[in-house]
Structure 1
Amino acid sequence: MSSVLGLCGPAPNPCRNDLSLPGYGLPVTDTATLLKDLHRDLPAGRLVTDPQVMAGLAHDDAEWAPWELPAAVVRAESAREVQLVVGLAIEHRVPVIPRGSGTGLSGGANAVAGSIVIDLSRMNEIKIIDPVERLAVVGPGVINDDLRAACAQQGLWYPPDPASSPWSSIGGNVATNAGGVCCVKYGVTGDYVLELEVVNGRGELVRLGRRTAKGVAGYDLTSLLVGSEGTLGIVTEISVRLRQQRPIEHTVVGYFDSVTDAGVAVTKIAEAGLTPSALELVDRHCLEAVDAWKNMGLSADANVILLGRTDAPGEAGAAEASAMITAFETGGATWSAQTDDQQEGDALFAARRLAYPALERLGPVLTEDICLPLRNVPAMLSRIEQIAVDHDTKIANIAHAGDGNLHPLLITPIGDEQAKIRAQQAFSDIIAGCLELGGTVTGEHGVGLLKLPGLADELSPAVQQMQADVKAALDPYGILNPGKAIV
C-alpha cells in the first residue's frame, strides 16, 4: 500500500489545482494581485497575511499530514463574505480551503501553496432553537458543546457528540459526518442535518434540503454534501434536527485483561440484542496517560475498560444495564459494576474524552479511524496488538466499540525519525487488516490526506470515477479543497 505520510506535499489528485484540467481556461494572476483584490473587497479585519499567524491556521491536528503556507487567510463573518472569496478564487484560479476549529485528524483542512484558507470560526451564531419543530439553525463556527448546552436550556438535545465536542465546530462535524459516543444508538451528524446553506463551486449561494419533517423533492444533495470535507461546497449555515432530553442514564463499567476480551464482550452485547446509548473501550495506555495527567486512578486495576450506558426509561433501563453486565461477564470481564448516579457516570466518560489529549502529552500521535462489522472487532483488536509488536510501535486503543469504530493511536517519541517510519508502516498495516476484515478506512474522521491510499484500496475504479465525476460537476474550476477526500 502506498502512503502520503511524510511527503512534502499532498498526494496527487485529479481534482487538484492544475491548469491542464478542464475549467482552467483563464490565466492565473500573481499573489500580489490576488491580495490586492481581497483587500479591496473584504471589510477591514478579515484578511490575514502574517506568515506566523497563517501557519497556525494552515492545518488541522492530523499528525504528519502535509501542509503548505497559503497566500492568505480570510476570517469570514457572513455567507456573503464566503461567496465573495469563492468568486475571487474562481477569478484567480486559486484553491479555497474551508476551516472550522482545526480539530480534524485526517488533514482535511490542510492548506496548499497559494491557496486561500477561509476560517469560519467567527460564524458562530446560534440563530434559532425551535422547540415546536425541534430544530436548531446555526452558523458553521458554533462549537458542538455550546449548541448542546443551549438546547438543554429548552429541554432539547442535539445527539452527535464526537470526543472533540468541547472544541470542534458544527461545520467541521458536517464536513466529516462526525459521530461520537452516542452514535451507537442515535446516529451520526448526517442523521440530524435537515438543511444546508452552501456556497458551491460556481460561487452561488444555495440552500439544500428543507426544514420539514419529510421531503423527497429532487436528489438528496444535502446528504451528498455531508461528509464531503469541503470539496463540493462551503457550508455557511446548518439546520439540524433535535430530540427531547433523555432520562437519566445507567452507566456500566467492566474491567478486562486484554482488548481482545473486551472485543468479545462487545459482540456478546450485540448477540443479546442490546443497543446501549454508549459503549466505549479504553485501554491501559490511555488510562495511564489520563492518570498521569489528571490523577484519576483508573489504571490501577484494569488493562482495558469498557464503559457502557443505557438511557432506557425506568425499570427497562435497570434491566438493560443488568443485561450489559451479564454480557461483560460472559465476555471475560474480571470485574464489573453499574451505577445510576449521573455524575459518577459522567466522570468515567470524561476520562474517555481526555484520552487523546492525555496521549498527546507523551509525543506525536497518529490517529486511526477504522470501522468494522461488530463480529470482527475482536479479531481486529488482536491484529492491532500484533502490528504494534511487529513494528515496535506503541499503540493505544480507544474505540466507539458499540458500532465497531476503532481508534488505534500510534505514539512516537518526539524527534525519533525511525519510530515515525515504523508508526507509518503500522498505520498502513492497520488499514490493510481492516479492509481484509470487511471494514472501512474511516468511520468519522474523514479521508482528508491521510486516508487517500486506503480509500484507493477500498473503492473500485468504477466508483472512484463516479466520485471524480461528481466532484467535477459541482466544482468545475477545481478550487474547493483540492487533493482531499477522493482519489
Structure 2
Amino acid sequence: MTGVTESAWITPRMAAMNDLPPSLARCLADLLGDGWLTDADALRRYGEDNSRRHALPAAVALPRTVEDVQMIVRACAQHGVPVVARGAGTSSTGAVIPYAGGVMIGFERMTRILQIAPEDRYAVVEAGVINGDLQQALQAHGLFWPPDPASADVSTIGGNLACNAGGPMAVKYGASRDNVLALTAVTGKGDVIHCGSLTTKDATGYDLTHLLVGSEGTLAIIVEATLRLLPRPPHRASLRALYRDVASAAAAVARIMQQPVAPSMLEFMDHACIRLAREVGGADLPDAGALLMIEVDGEAETLPHALEALNRAADGAGVIAIDEAPDEDSREKLWAARKSLSPALRTIAKGKINEDVVVPVSRIPALVAGVEAMASEFDLTIVAFGHAGNGNLHVNLLFDPDNADESARARAALPRLFALTLSLGGTLSGEHGIGVAKRDFMADAFDAATLDTMRAIKHALDPHGILNPGKVLPP
C-alpha cells in the first residue's frame, strides 16, 4: 500500500480556505453573533482531536438551531468552502481534523433533550447532547441508550452516531446504528432531510438513517436524532476468567458466543493489559496470560442460571481460574480499570497506533495468534484488548516516536495487521471509524465498483464536496 498524505485529497479550490471570502465571514458573523469565533485559541482547540493530529480551521461556528446549521452550510456551499462538524473531539482517527481549513461547526450550544417518550421507548435529542448526560436523564424512567463508548462521559450523541460508536455492551445490545430510529440532517446542499420514523419496524423507502450513521459527517451533518431506548436491566453479575495464554482465552470466547446465553459484556485483555489494569488502574488481578471479563444482566431469578452457562463455556483448556465478582464495588473497579487501559498505554510508550479491527468471533484465535507473530517479527510491543464478543479487538502498536527505526517498524506493521484482518473475513473498524487514519486502506477492503458507488452517494448528498473533505474515501 503506497502512502498518501492526509491532505492529498483537497481540491485546489479548497486549498486556501484558511482565509474566508469576506462576504461569507460577514454573513456568518451577523447570523451567529458571539457564536462566530476566529481567535487563535478557538481555532487551535477546534483544530485537534484525540488522534493528536491538528490543522487550523478558518473559523468556528457555534449554531443554536437546525436553521443555523442550514444557513451555515448553504452559505459555505455558495462559496465552495469546506465544512467540518465536530462533537467533543474524541475521534482517534483524525475524523474531524480540518485539513482543508474552512468552517468548523461545534455543537455545544445544541444540547437539548427535546423529548423522552417512556411509553414508546424513544428520546429525541440535539446532536450536542453528551452521552453520559442523556443516560443520567433516562435513569428516572428506568431506561438507557445502549452505546457506551469509553468516552461516554464527554462524547456527544452526534459524534457517537457519526462514527457508529459501540462499547462493551454492543455484544448484546448493538452499536449506535442499531439503536437509532430517525435522524434530522443537513446535506451538503444545505437541505434539511428527515429520515426514519418513531417505530422500530419500518420498510418505507430507502434506509437513509442507517446510511448516515457511521458516515463521519461526509454525507450530511446530523443535527437531531431519535434514539431507541431499552429498559435498564435490574441486576448484573460478572465473571472473571483467567487463562494461561491468549490462545486459550480466544478459544473460550468462541465457545461462549456459540451457546444460547448472551453475555451483556465480554471483554478480552492480554498479559500486558492485565499488568496495566493492576498497576495503573488499581484492579485486584493476579498474573495471567490473558483474561476475560464476562457480564450478564437480567432478573435476579435468572442470573444464577445464566452465570452457570457462561461459566461452563468459559471453562476449558488453559483456564487458570474463574471467579464471580463478590460485590458491586469489585465489579465497578474491574470495569473502571478496563476503561482506563487506552490512556494508560501512554505509560508504556509515548507513541501508539490504536486500531479497532473486527473478525468473525470464531476467528479471534487466528487474529490473536497473528498479532503475536507480528510482535515478534517487527520486534514491537503490541497490546490487544477489547470487545471480544463482537470479534472487535483494540490492537495497539506501541513505539518510541523519537526512535526512527522503531517508528518505521510500527508503520510497516500496520498494513500487515489490516491484511491479516481482511484475510480472516474481517473489517477495518468496529467503532472508531475511518477518518484519515485508515482511509488509504479502504481500497484493500472494497473493490473499485463498490468504492465508486460510495463516491456516487457522496456526490448526490454533497455535490460541492464541502462536507468533511478527504475523510473515509480514498483519493
Q: What TM-score bracket applies, with the shorter chain setting the length?
A: over 0.9
Work out whether residues 35 and 72 of structure 1, in 8 Å CA contact, stay in contact via their aligned partners in 2: no
Counterparts of residues 271-310 of structure 1 (less than 5 Å)? 271-298=258-285, 300-310=286-296
Distance (Å, rounded) in 1 between the aligned partners of 2:378 and 2:8: 24
Q: Match for residue 172 of structure 2?
A: 185
Deviation at 1:43, TM superposition (A): 2.6
Deviates more, 1:263-272 or 1:397-406: 263-272
- In the alignment, structure 1 residue 51 sits paired with structure 2 residue 40: yes
Residues 7-406 of structure 1 aligned to structure 2 (within 5 Å): 7=5, 9-12=6-9, 16-19=10-13, 31-33=20-22, 36-63=25-52, 67-298=54-285, 300-339=286-325, 341-362=327-348, 363-406=350-393
CA distance in 1, matches of 2:142, 2:170: 20
Looking at structure 2, the residues matched to 3 and 279 of structure 1 have their Cα atoms a distance apart, in angstroms, of 36
Distance 1:17 1:96, change over 3 A: farther
* Distance across 1 between alignment mates of 2:3 and 2:373: 21
Aligned pair partner of 1:462 in 430, 449, 457: 449
Partners of 2:219 and 2:261 lie apart in 1 by 38
CA distance in 2, matches of 1:297, 1:314: 26
Q: CA 1:177–1:128 in 2, change beyond 3 Å: closer, same or farther?
A: same
Q: Deviations over 1:188-235 (max 9, x none)?
A: 111111111111111012221111343332211111111111011111
- Residue 380 of structure 2 aligns to which amino acid in structure 1? T
Q: Is the 8 A contact 2:28 2:72 kept in 1?
A: no
Structure 2 letter corresponding to 1:260 = A
> 1:458-481 deviations in whole A, cap 9, x for unaligned?
111111111010001110110011
Residues 41-80 of structure 1 deviation map (CA, whole Å, 9 limit, x = unaligned): 33322122223431221132125x5x42211121222222
Aligned residue among 399, 419, 423 for 1:412: 399
Within 2, Cα distance between the matches of 1:380 and 1:131?
42
Q: Distance in 1 between matches of 2:384 and 2:87?
A: 27
CA contact (8 A) 1:281 1:306 kept: yes
Q: Given that residues 268 and 330 in structure 1 are in contact (C-alpha distance below 8 angstroms), is that contact kept between their aligned partners in structure 2?
A: no
Shift of 1:11: 4.2
Normalized against structure 2, the TM-score is what?
A: 0.94
Deviations for 1:217-260, whole angstroms, at most 9, x for unmatched residues? 22111111111110111111111011111121110111123222
Per-residue Cα deviation, 1:351-376 (whole angstroms, up to 9, x for no partner): 11111121134423211011101111
Aligned length: 472
* Mapped partners of 1:200, 1:39: distance in 2: 18
Q: CA deviation at 1:291?
A: 3.4
Q: Distance in 1 between matches of 2:18 and 2:383?
A: 48
Query: For 1:405-484, what aligned pairs fall within 5 Å after superposition?
Result: 405-484=392-471
Find the residue that maps to 2:406 and give its secondary structure.
helix
Which residue identity does 2:330 align to in structure 1? E
Provide the rounded CA distance (Å) in 2 between the counterparts of 1:352 and 1:295: 10
What is the alpha-carbon distance in structure 1 between the residues aligned to residue 206 and residue 458 of structure 2? 16
Contact 2:114 2:126 in 1 (8 A): yes
Does the CA contact (< 8 Å) of 1:393 and 1:426 recur in 2?
no
**C-alpha distance after superposition, 1:240-284 (max 9, x if no partner):** 011111121110111123222211110111233332111001223
| TM-score (normalised: structure 1) | 0.91
Aligned letter for 1:306?
A: L
Percentage of pairs with the same residue: 36
How many angstroms apart in 2 are the aligned matches of 1:72 and 1:216? Answer: 41
Partner Cα distance (2:18, 2:277) in 1 = 51
Amino acid at match of 1:55: R
- Once the 2 structures are TM-superposed, how far is the Cα of residue 428 of structure 1 from its aligned partner? 1.5
What is the DSSP-based 3-state SS (H/G/I as helix, E as strand, rest coil) of the residue aligned with 2:252? helix
Change (3 A) 1:477 1:430: same
Secondary structure at the aligned position of 2:322 is classed as strand
In structure 2, C-alpha distance between the alignment counterparts of 1:59 and 1:472, rounded to whole Å: 27
* Cα offset, 1:147, TM superposition: 1.0
Equivalent residue number for residue 2 of structure 1? 2
Cα distance in structure 2, aligned partners of 1:44 and 1:19: 27
Tell me how far 1:32 sits from its aligned partner: 5.0
Q: Distance in 1 between matches of 2:301 and 2:18?
A: 69
Q: 1:28 to 1:297 in 2, by over 3 A?
A: closer
Tell me the SS of whatever aligns to 2:436. coil
Give the Cα–Cα distance (whole angstroms) in 2 for the partners of residues 272 and 208 of structure 1: 37
Q: Secondary structure at the match of 2:33?
A: coil
CA change 1:34–1:164 in 2 (3 A) is farther
* Counterpart residue identity of residue 297, structure 2: D
* Inter-CA distance 268–54: structure 2 relative to 1 (3 Å threshold): same
Aligned to 1:23: none
* Gaps in structure 2 of 5+ consecutive residues: none
Between 148-157 and 268-277, the greater mean CA deviation after superposition: 268-277
